[in-house]
Amino acid sequence: MNASIDRNQTLFERAQQTIPGGVNSPVRAFGSVGGTPRFISRAQGARMYDVNDKEYIDYIGSWGPMILGHGHPTVIAAVSAALQSGFSFGAPTEAEVIMAETLTRLLPSMEQVRLVSSGTEATMSAVRLARGFTGRSLLIKFEACYHGHSDSLLVKAGSGLLTFGHPTSAGVLDDFAKHSLVLPYNDITALEVAFKEHAAIIAGVIIEPVAGNMNLLPSDPAFLQGLRKLCTQHGALLIFDEVMCGFRVGLSGAQGHYGVTPDITTLGKVIGGGFPMAAFGGRRDIMQTLAPVGAVYQAGTLSGNPVAVSAGLVTLQLIQAPNFYTELTQRTQRLIDGLNLAAQKSGVAFCAQHLGSMFGMYFADAIPKNYADIQKHNQTRFKQFFHAMLDRGIYFAPSAFEAGFMSSAHTAQDVDATCAAAAEIFSTW
Ligand code: PLP
């Protein structure tokens, strides 16, 4: 047995004694692909190293945040400086104000913003805010969109839940779930019917405008425009969950990409630069409903944590550099072209696409249009591919239902090596 597998295995066995499933977030357990999760000891740039010092080109990027790659020196300097000034105050800081100013400038639909510590908190709070503001109960969400693990949102969610085959979670009461209506993604007719039947009680509609938790699945522009129109017509709030796609699709997020303006936006991942920070924000009149000015309660001991804010601020500065997104997108395009070509040459039923620095790989003949299509792709092939790539030091998400992420630290050589490895694997099939 290879020594590296041995050390990961030993740790995994030990971890399972004291941590459920040995991991602190389910998808990390490799449950859907089998095998032993890699325990990571360090990371730098586009590379991660497991406990036995095996090197991997990392296409997970901590599930999205690491848009600059790992250990960016400017981020390290900012965080180190922030640490010297104190870890947490439980009182406001100037850096939080700068963060709020930055976010509202980059995403003008957010006239006001509140910082929180995780994407789950951001979406949970956004939903409470939508209900509090409208005085209505019903939330519409879309099948296989994942919005974190709060009760209202764990109804037919994507990502880990899809991976483990549980469309909803035990512990979520039916009484709660009945206030969330789940509709198929990209299906405007279903949405129109739902509004026809329930318009008076619909508080809001939450969507991943570029879904990344059922593999990568962008919205149809016409669908998003139709959704915006229906919400406006019926006084329901449109919530864009851009925790994943915000600052991944581009500097103006999915809302800029599609030219559709939500009422509330949730952000996370990139805005914390790898530290626990997220945010929700939107129209001023809606945000003014929040405590302490309004009646919708929301709070957090570590909200706006100075160390996390410092990492987020410098990350947001660096991604505004000229050509940052052009180069990142080109690098992602290079990967997609290379993978598609490799599959074509070997006649493998595979296709890939990207939007900005998010990408999706599907073991199917055609790019999926909806969740039903995604379910049809060949998961056995995905598992084989995942493990063969991992063996070759290329780390994709251990689930067929996750998007991949490029960082600015990935070089053309990294990408070409990845495509060459894929070509080698495909040629043996
Ligand atoms: N919303 C989306 C679109 C996400 O992808 C995620 C996490 O992957 C969340 C919300 C929840 O964020 P967190 O894991 O920070 O709670």
Q: Token pair of 170, please? A: 């035990």
Nearest 5°: phi and psi at 403?
-80, 165
Tell me 40's DSSP state. E
Q: Residue 206 C-alpha to ligand 1 middle, in angstroms?
A: 13
User: What's the pLDDT band for 171 if we cut at 50, 70, 90?
Assistant: confident
Distance 241 CA to ligand 1 centre (A): 9
Of 127-136, 138-147, 168-177, 265-274, which range is least confident?
168-177
Give the pair of three-digit tokens for residue 344. 């074509």
Tell me the residue ranges of DSSP E strands in 133-255.
Answer: 138-142, 180-183, 202-207, 210-211, 217-218, 237-241
The mean per-residue pLDDT over the stretch 292-311 comes to 98
Are the C-beta atoms of 70 and 58 separated by less than 8 Å? yes
pLDDT of residue 176: 79
Catalytic residue among 151, 241, 263, 414: 241
Count other Cβ atoms within 10 Å, centred on residue 21: 14
The CB of 158 under 6 Å from ligand 1? The reply is no
CA distance 104 to 101: 5
Q: Is the confidence at residue 159, as pLDDT, over 70?
A: no
pLDDT classification of 2: cutoffs 50, 70, 90: low
- What pLDDT is attached to residue 158? 54
Instruction: Indicate the top mutation candidate among 27, 146, 355 to test ligand 1's pocket, ranked by most ligand atoms within 8 A of CB.
Output: 146
Our answer to whether residue 229 is catalytic in this structure is: no
pLDDT at 166 over 90: no
Active site residue 146: yes
The catalytic residue among 54, 141, 156, 269 is 269
Distance CA 352, CA 339 (A): 7
Tens of pLDDT along 17-72?
999 999 999 999 999 999 999 999 999 999 999 999 999 999 999 999 999 999 99
User: What atom in ligand 1 is closest to the CA of residue 211?
Assistant: 3
pLDDT at residue number 178: 84
**Per-residue confidence at 1, pLDDT binned at 50, 70, 90?**
very low
CA 395, distance to chain mean position in Å, is 17
**Residues 362 and 399 sit within 8 Å (Cβ to Cβ):** no
* Strand ranges across the sheet with 404-405: 351-355, 358-362, 404-405
Residue ranges in 184-272 assigned as alpha helix (H): 188-198, 221-234, 253-258
Summarize the confidence of residues 300-304 as an average pLDDT. Answer: 97
Reported as a single tens digit per residue, the pLDDT across 362-415 is: 999 999 988 889 988 999 999 999 999 999 999 999 999 999 999 999 999 999
What is the pLDDT, as a whole number, of residue 165? 47
pLDDT at 144: 86
Q: Report the DSSP beta bridge partners of residue 211.
A: 217
pLDDT value for 172: 84
Q: Which of residues 386 and 162 earns the better pLDDT score?
A: 386
More confident residue, 192 or 371: 192
User: Which among 278, 268, 282 is positioned nearest to 237, based on CA atoms?
Assistant: 282
Read off the pLDDT band of 160 (50, 70, 90).
Answer: low
State in Å: Cα 120 to ligand 1 middle. Answer: 6
Is 63 near ligand 1, meaning CB less than 6 Å away? yes
pLDDT, residue 157, reads: 57
138-142 vs 180-183, strand pairing mode: parallel
Place of tokens 């004694």: 17
Judge if the beta carbon of residue 120 lies within 6 A of ligand 1.
Answer: yes
Q: Which of 60, 147, 153 has most ligand 1 atoms within 8 Å of CB, for mutation?
A: 147
Confirm or reject: Cβ of 280 under 6 Å from ligand 1. no
Mean pLDDT of 297-308: 98
Please, what is the average pLDDT of the chain?
94
Confirm or reject: Cβ of 247 under 6 Å from ligand 1: no
Q: What is the pLDDT of residues 317-359, one digit of tens each?
A: 999 999 999 999 999 999 999 999 999 999 999 999 999 999 9
- Provide the pLDDT for residue 25: 94
118 lines ligand 1 (CB under 6 A): yes
Spatial contact of 163 and 21, defined as CB atoms under 8 Å apart: no
Rg (CA), the chain: 21
Active site residue 269: yes
Q: Which of 219, 243, 405 to mutate to test the pocket of ligand 1 (most atoms within 8 A of CB)?
A: 243
